[in-house]
Structure 1
Amino acid sequence: MHPMTPPIILAAALSLLVASPGKATVPELPELGDTASQLALDITPVPHGMGAVFVPSASRPELEPTLHVFAGEERIASGPTAKRIPLPPGRYEVVAGQGPMDWRARHEVVVEAGRTVVADGFFGALRVTAIDPFDRPIKARYALVAADGGRVYGPERTSGSEAYGSTRTWVLPPGRYNVVLGGDAAPRENRVALLVPAGGRIAYRLVVDDGRLVRSEFADRPLVLRDDIWRLDWVFGGAGALDKTERQLGGFSGDALRVEIFTRFEAGLDLGDHLALLRIGIEESWIGLEHAIGKGLPFQKLTDVLQAEVLYNYRLAEIIGPYVRGRVRTSAFPTTIYPEVDTTVEVLRADGTSDTFDAAAGDEVSLMKGFAPTTFQAGGGMAVTAWDDDLISLIVRGGVAGREDYYGTSRGRYVADSGPGTLVLQELDRQLRFGVELTANLRLRLGEIVSLQSTFEAFSSFDELGGSETLRPSFIWDSAVTLRLSSWAQVVYAVALHRDDQRLPDTQLRQSLSLRFQYSVF
């Protein structure tokens, strides 16, 4: 063992013991130091008979734009900051900054043979970061606008990391600038003015809450980052939508104008390798236009979904590991239809028998009682987080599971066939099966405005996989494209292809275009 190893181990152990949950981040050694230190570190060779120009870095060379050296209108050389740029003796102009050439800072130098001329103090350096009200670094779009409005730099995006190297350094001509949140130079709100002096190094921080600029500050205060192990998300709202649905068990089938209320709640504990989640969702909507089977009443149940899920996942390196999951989905209210004309109804029983009854026009014909159908599913297996960042997330889970489809004590029915004055209902009874389950969750975020969420869940029994039954898995493939209008308004196109019970011969379909309004509690 190396003689220094025991003290290092002891120091590391003590640091873990005394560390508090909320601690100031220890910054990296971000900058290269003063001009003398940078010159001492640079070993760029300068050929005999030539001189050099040296522009000190205000942060790190890789975070700053490339320098250009001009002799009159001709560009002679280019290079990074903090490195000598060899040049023949003569008079030159050094240009530094971003944007068009005439926007950049300029400085004239005279280069002599065997000497290095330092060009500093002719520009100002600015670094912009953003945090939320809880001191967490966030990605926020912004632009820099010169006070006279003649120059607009950006739009640029802040980093979601507190690492120094994740933020670019602006090299600017000295002057007054506006930092405008959102990247649009025109609005008068969500902007802050500041002075960038010659030779100055400014670190500026925006505090942003739900897309609004709460305040701004110079970034000399260390961030107090707390490892937030809790996930809490509660959203409720309403929507107006045009729907088209086919062969629904617990809801409306046909064309509809939907007025909806919904809520989604998620609570979780995320310890890195350990993830535990509870999800609860309620979606209820009314007002029908044209029922595919019965009368299109102006006020009736369209969508009626209550669901809850409990998940635990151990993730080795937050990528792969075992999971266990339980899920329940049901409909709270009864499902009924109202024949448009006098109708003979035939009921095909689950035991193979049948009977008939007559229903007058407008009579209530029951399909499902309250809290039917109800599906319970519990399983476990392996989960893989294939990709997870701000743009793309893909999580796949697969394993064995048990599934129960319950239709109440009086059993459930669905419309198997219909015609003028006739209606055939197929009865469904409780069934319990064991088999395999597969889940895939995909999320794409295209900027701040457009996102895609797609979830696929499937269950197939061992009897189906073994060939003793027709392979007809229960599944749901639910996808939605969201256009974000504001923090509380969205346009959503959603489509769901599913089979709620493997005994259903045809797949079910629901698609909708909605204007959704929502409020996030936390």
Structure 2
Amino acid sequence: MKYSGVPILVAVLLVCGSSSADESTWTADPANAQLSHDPSLIPKGKGMLFVPAMSVPLGNEPSFYVQQNGARITSATPGRGVLLDPGSYDVLIGSGIISQLIRKTAHVIEGHTTMMKPDWAALVIDVIDASRTSVNESYELLDADGGETYGLGFGIEEERGERVRTWLLKPGTYHIVRVGESVTTIRKFSVQLSPGTLTQRNLVVDSNPNSTGDFIGFYPQPRMQTSRAERTASPITSQTELSGSVQANTSQQTASGDQTSVNLAVQIFNRTRYNTDRDFASIRIILEEGASKVEGEDLSKGVDRAEVRATYIYRVSPRIGPYLRGVLQSNVFPTDRRFSPPRDLIRIRKSGIIDTLRGTTEFTTTPSLSPITLREGVGINSQVIRSFGLNMDLRLGIGARQDVRSDFFEISTNPATGNIEAREFGSTSSTGLEALLIMDARLGRYINLDSEFDILVTSRQADDWFFTWENRMRIALTSFINLDIVADLEREQALRRLQGREQLLLRFSRFF
């Protein structure tokens, strides 16, 4: 720590005597090491209060509150220093409601750092199934003495970037029970928490589809086991999912009518994230290919999707900050339209040239890598809701979209003449105001919903607004089999009409 303009060695005051914490149990650095890494500079007229963290990553532990004369002054996350005026303060640390927090007194001296003695206890519970896979099951934490509840804890889904939260509690004995059960139930597990110690436990849940979700095990994490909280402490995380699916697909297109098909598809999905206190960057890559069989037709190309999405957010505060994003979408293989029996096809070029293709049996409507759709945006990102059951982000800014097309045709029947026409569409570009609403929700024990609405407003006329609305509901049947329900709606600039797509997928997944 530094004292502005005065070359003195800043004293570190340990509140309430010498520390007796067992820092060997911590996943965070020792308290003095955390303090030495804190970048805060102490200006004149100020002192600093430092509450060490026992677990990683920083932000996993509940915030502590600083009060003076009964009024809240500030709050912060353990592991980060707080600059305060010299004086005496009440510091409230822990999980639960206000009356359950640990109340301590801290004396802040100008030009010095006051470190709180970490004599509370920390608890991390990983909720897993019998195959050691994390599950999003909930539990309740009760005080063993009076049966008072300290709230609900939750398992996580690592592929969604979720983190195991850390409990900060008074030393003592606590019970872990299913939500809604009392302290007198025989279906409970107990844990003894010691001062200054981080305790890590695995809670095993019977997650079979026909089970009632009973707790079937509770044991210490082995010394060699890396907890899920530690794995997410690294600023860079990457996960790849390889999955195959069987699809029943209905495509609603007003020009050519509804089409129903059965598809077999393989998808490779990768999400890489960089996440620190201030910076969040995410790159998502999707490659999905498949074959389609329409009744009465030969086997043909089905789903063909290649997509890269990149997002960067700088957090001015925990809930708001500027963002920069980019999206690239295209197809890998060409798309052909087949005719049986052969038909005459009138081809209308974007230049106005019209010719007739006689006895056509097959016509390429989109070649490889056409169209290439690019979307860019910059603006402000706001975390509207952050909870276990629902997360919602709203982004407002300036956006642009380019659709780069080469030999891109749409086939339709002219209602006046009955002729089959292939009309070519050229490249388009537009800019305007963009808005994105991104949501993920847990609708039940095995049901998750992801939704993203992306709109570009290019003028005051609603006909010039273009949007995509993507929705996916995932129902977990087993640890590696999911039932996915997809419903997408899109309005493109070139076509100026709504296109809908619904899919029912039985997906077999493997994470790496």
Amino acid across the alignment from 2:310: V
Amino acid across the alignment from 1:274: D
Give the conservation status (yes or no) of the 8 Å contact 2:127–2:154: no
Matched, 1:377 2:375: yes
- Select the residue among 130, 133, 143 that pairs with 2:125: 130
Of all paired residues, the percent bearing the same amino acid is 18
Q: Distance in 2 between matches of 1:166 and 1:352?
A: 79
Give the conservation status (yes or no) of the 8 Å contact 1:156–1:183: no
Matched, 1:489 2:481: yes
Alignment correspondent of 2:411: 415
Q: Distance in 2 between matches of 1:404 and 1:301?
A: 25
Matched, 1:424 2:429: no
User: Tell me, what secondary structure is at the counterpart of 1:351?
Assistant: coil
Deviations 1:114-148 (A, max 9, x none): xxxxxxxxxxxxx9962279xxx99644699xxxx
Matched, 1:229 2:221: no
Q: Distance in 1 between matches of 2:95 and 2:398?
A: 54
Larger Rg computed on CA atoms = 1
Q: Evaluate the alpha carbon distance shift between residue 407 and residue 25 of structure 1 in structure 2; reply closer, same or farther with a 3 A threshold.
A: closer
Matched, 1:243 2:238: no
Q: Evaluate the alpha carbon distance shift between residue 183 and residue 416 of structure 1 in structure 2; reply closer, same or farther with a 3 A threshold.
A: farther
Amino acid across the alignment from 1:216: Y
Alignment correspondent of 2:309: 309
Q: Distance in 2 between matches of 1:61 and 1:343?
A: 72
Give the conservation status (yes or no) of the 8 Å contact 1:384–1:396: yes
Deviation at 1:313, TM superposition (A): 0.9
Deviations 1:430-477 (A, max 9, x none): 22332232221111112331111111112243xxx066xx73333211
Give the conservation status (yes or no) of the 8 Å contact 2:480–2:508: yes
Q: Evaluate the alpha carbon distance shift between residue 504 and residue 218 of structure 1 in structure 2; reply closer, same or farther with a 3 A threshold.
A: closer
Deviation at 1:303, TM superposition (A): 1.2
Alignment correspondent of 2:402: 404
Alignment correspondent of 1:509: 500
Alignment correspondent of 2:219: 216
Q: Distance in 1 between matches of 2:359 and 2:257?
A: 19
Alignment correspondent of 1:390: 388
Deviation at 1:239, TM superposition (A): 0.7
- Select the residue among 249, 255, 259 that pairs with 2:260: 255
Q: Distance in 2 between matches of 1:310 and 1:62?
A: 37
Q: Distance in 2 between matches of 1:215 and 1:385?
A: 35
- Select the residue among 202, 208, 214 that pairs with 1:207: 202
TM-score, structure 1 normalization: 0.61
Amino acid across the alignment from 1:276: A
Q: Distance in 2 between matches of 1:444 and 1:455?
A: 12
Matched, 1:322 2:329: no
Give the conservation status (yes or no) of the 8 Å contact 1:138–1:161: no
Amino acid across the alignment from 1:347: R
Q: Aligned residues, how many? A: 383
Q: Evaluate the alpha carbon distance shift between residue 169 and residue 447 of structure 1 in structure 2; reply closer, same or farther with a 3 A threshold.
A: farther
- Select the residue among 148, 161, 166 that pairs with 1:162: 166
Deviation at 1:416, TM superposition (A): 3.5
Q: Distance in 2 between matches of 1:340 and 1:166?
A: 77
Deviations 1:308-359 (A, max 9, x none): 0121111222211111112110011001110122322122322344322223
Deviations 1:162-206 (A, max 9, x none): 2234999767xxxxxxx899999xxxxxxx997999xxxxx9853
Alignment correspondent of 1:35: none
Q: Evaluate the alpha carbon distance shift between residue 8 and residue 157 of structure 1 in structure 2; reply closer, same or farther with a 3 A threshold.
A: farther
Amino acid across the alignment from 2:202: V
Correspondences of 1:268-287 after superposition (within 5 Å):
268-287=273-292
Alignment correspondent of 2:442: 445
Q: Distance in 2 between matches of 1:252 and 1:167?
A: 67
Q: Distance in 2 between matches of 1:339 and 1:161?
A: 59
Deviation at 1:158, TM superposition (A): 5.4
* 5+ long unaligned stretches in structure 1: 1-5, 29-59, 64-126, 145-154, 172-178, 185-191, 198-202
Q: Evaluate the alpha carbon distance shift between residue 447 and residue 400 of structure 1 in structure 2; reply closer, same or farther with a 3 A threshold.
A: same
* 5+ long unaligned stretches in structure 2: 1-5, 14-30, 39-51, 63-93, 98-121, 129-133, 142-150, 156-163, 182-186, 193-197, 208-215
User: Tell me, what secondary structure is at the counterpart of 2:12?
Assistant: helix
Matched, 1:459 2:456: yes
User: Tell me, what secondary structure is at the counterpart of 1:471?
Assistant: helix
